[in-house]
Amino acid sequence: MRRISIFGATGSIGQSTIDLIRRDREAYDVVALTGGANVDLLAHDARALGAKVAVTAYEDKLPALKDALAGSDIHAAAGAHALIEAADRPADWIMSAIVGAAGLAPGLHALKHGTTLALANKESLVTAGPLLMREAHAHGTRILPVDSEHSAVFQGMVGEERAEVERVIITASGGPFRDWSLEQLAGATLAQACTHPSWDMGQRITIDSASMFNKALEIIETHEYFGFSGDMIEVLVHPGSYVHALVGFKDGALMAHLGAPDMRHAIGYALHWPERRHLPVERLDLAKIGSLRFEAPDEVRFPALRLARDVMEIGGLAGAVFNAAKEAALDAFIAGEIGFLDMARHVESVLNQMSSTASLGNAALTLDTVLEADKEARARVRAAVARA
Ligand code: NAD
Ligand code: MG
């Protein structure tokens, strides 16, 4: 039996992971499940899977979690410390699917056990990529990408030499505002930003897809995980979301990965790697789809893409600043405090401020320096939002 833990079990990726595990219940021994405010769902899944421990991120939710687990022998715990403790429980396969930089510390701890970390939490690679990769290397832990584009690149490179790769193209659906003008984007509402044309995901990543901040994070994620330089990484808008990524080789060949827009594909690949097993995902009928559309991305309407290039250029703590500023700006947009286009403006401004005042690019990367840069970037965005 494989011992499995799922961080962010109550979210979109967490639930898709649980769906796969429940289909083959006897194969897995579930160690820890973690979630946030939805303790009823967390307790329900912990019971269904026979987990040893269930952890809510929020201390004030512990009584409710204990109530929901009453009569079971599942240990209930809460708070940041409990998340770290859960990450320290030995498991053979750990899903990192907390949203945001909050996933970094549990992920880093999970890496210490020399097993496999399935990484959906792209923010941890963006904020602290070199730290994460170093830690994985030091403990012999394998990180498998779960983002659909990165899983596609990973699969496209099986049996290939990294040195043969000339370019990597990650696709973007373009989100709900793909063909909106700047004027329209300025007035985009929260409800409009929360409807994604092809993927069903958590609220935050859905809005990040509308602003292309998600793709910006993914450019940096590609750079950090595979080690490709920024000029090798391209973004291609592909509204259908059938082609997830393409790997281009030095002879000009492009290997494309196609599949239905269903995260159970990338999750299942990471779960069964290095094998392939049957997965309950739709099989594409390409004749029915008929044609595949592609467009160049527009960095004027979607400045996040341009900022990702700046972040890679600066290096060091720039990723931590970029991600944290983005998270704080997203909070402000969700709260109705700023407009849709203001998000990128605030992020760019804080990135500029912090890269000119501090030696962001040369700073040593440790969990402490990353968390400090994260805190400062958030505070700067909040202050700017309050001033505006
Ligand atoms: P989600 O919002 O649906 O779920 C997030 C999970 O994290 C929930 O379990 C929530 O309780 C938990 N959580 C939230 N804040 C927390 C905190 N401060 N501390 C601890 N736990 C917290 O998000 P999602 O869409 O499942 O995305 C999860 C991660 O996977 C993100 O990093 C996202 O970028 C990445 N990802 C998601 C998709 C997708 O299709 N949803 C695709 C690719 C990558
Ligand atoms: Mg993705």
Cα(289) to centroid(ligand 1), Å: 30
Cα(147) to centroid(ligand 2), Å: 5
Count: domains in the chain: 3
CATH of the domain at 66: 3.40.50.720
Q: Residues with Cβ within 5 Å of ion ligand 2?
A: 147-149
| 77/14 same-domain check | yes
CATH of the domain at 368: 1.10.1740.10
| The pTM of the whole model exceeds 0.90 | yes
| 179/133 same-domain check | no
Closest atom of ligand 1 relative to the 37 alpha carbon: 11
| 131/37 same-domain check | yes
Residue 302 lies in a domain: no
Quote the pLDDT of residue 116. 98
**3-class DSSP assignment, residue 229:** coil
Measured CA to CA, the distance from residue 70 to residue 352 in angstroms comes to 51
Quote the pLDDT of residue 352. 97
Residue 209 lies in a domain: yes
| 211/326 same-domain check | no
Closest atom of ligand 1 relative to the 83 alpha carbon: 20
Measured CA to CA, the distance from residue 43 to residue 51 in angstroms comes to 9
Q: Are the C-beta atoms of 202 and 99 separated by less than 8 Å?
A: yes
Instruction: Point out the domain boundary residue: 122, 145, 168.
Output: 145
Give the CA count within 13 Å in the CB-facing half-sphere of 99: 20
Residue range 154-199, pLDDT digits in tens: 999 999 999 999 999 999 999 999 999 999 999 999 999 999 888 8
Cα(379) to centroid(ligand 1), Å: 22
Based on its alpha-carbon atoms, the radius of gyration of the chain, rounded to whole angstroms, reads 20
Ligand nearest to the CA of 212: 2
Q: Where is the binding site for 1-deoxy-D-xylulose 5-phosphate, in residues? A: 122, 148-149, 173, 196, 209, 214-215, 218
Residue 248 lies in a domain: yes
Measured in degrees and rounded to the nearest 5, phi and psi for residue 9 equal -65, -25
Cα(327) to centroid(ligand 1), Å: 13
Of residues 159, 173, 96, 109, the one with CA closest to residue 136: 109
Neighbours of 240 (CB within 10 A): 18
Residue 270 lies in a domain: no
Residue 95 lies in a domain: yes
Closest atom of ligand 1 relative to the 36 alpha carbon: 11
Instruction: Point out the domain boundary residue: 75, 110, 145.
Output: 145
Instruction: Point out the domain boundary residue: 124, 145, 166.
Output: 145
Residue 225 lies in a domain: yes
Quote the pLDDT of residue 262. 97
| 123/207 same-domain check | no
Instruction: Flag residues of the chain having pLDDT under 50.
Output: none
| 134/163 same-domain check | no
Residue 185 domain boundaries: 150-262
Residue 17 lies in a domain: yes
How far from chain centre, in Å, is Cα 365? Answer: 20
Cα(133) to centroid(ligand 1), Å: 21
Measured in degrees and rounded to the nearest 5, phi and psi for residue 205 equal -70, -30
Residue 298 lies in a domain: no
Quote the pLDDT of residue 73. 97
β-bridge partners, 33: 6, 54
| 20/141 same-domain check | yes
Of residues 263, 256, 334, the one with CA closest to residue 8: 263
| 93/163 same-domain check | no
Pocket of ligand 1 (CB under 6 A): 8-14, 35-36, 57, 97-99, 102, 120-123, 147, 199, 201-202, 204-205, 263
Closest atom of ligand 1 relative to the 214 alpha carbon: 34
Cα(161) to centroid(ligand 1), Å: 32
| 140/155 same-domain check | no
The burial class, CB within 10 Å (0-12 / 13-18 / 19+), for 1 is exposed
Closest atom of ligand 1 relative to the 217 alpha carbon: 34
Of residues 49, 254, 74, 279, the one with CA closest to residue 171: 254
Task: List CB contacts of 301: < 8 A, sequence separation 6 or more.
Answer: 177, 180, 181, 182, 185
| 101/154 same-domain check | no
| 52/104 same-domain check | yes
| 115/165 same-domain check | no
Q: Write down the ipTM of this complex.
A: 0.99
Angle subtended at Cα 126 by Cα 122 and Cα 131, rounded to the nearest 5 degrees: 105
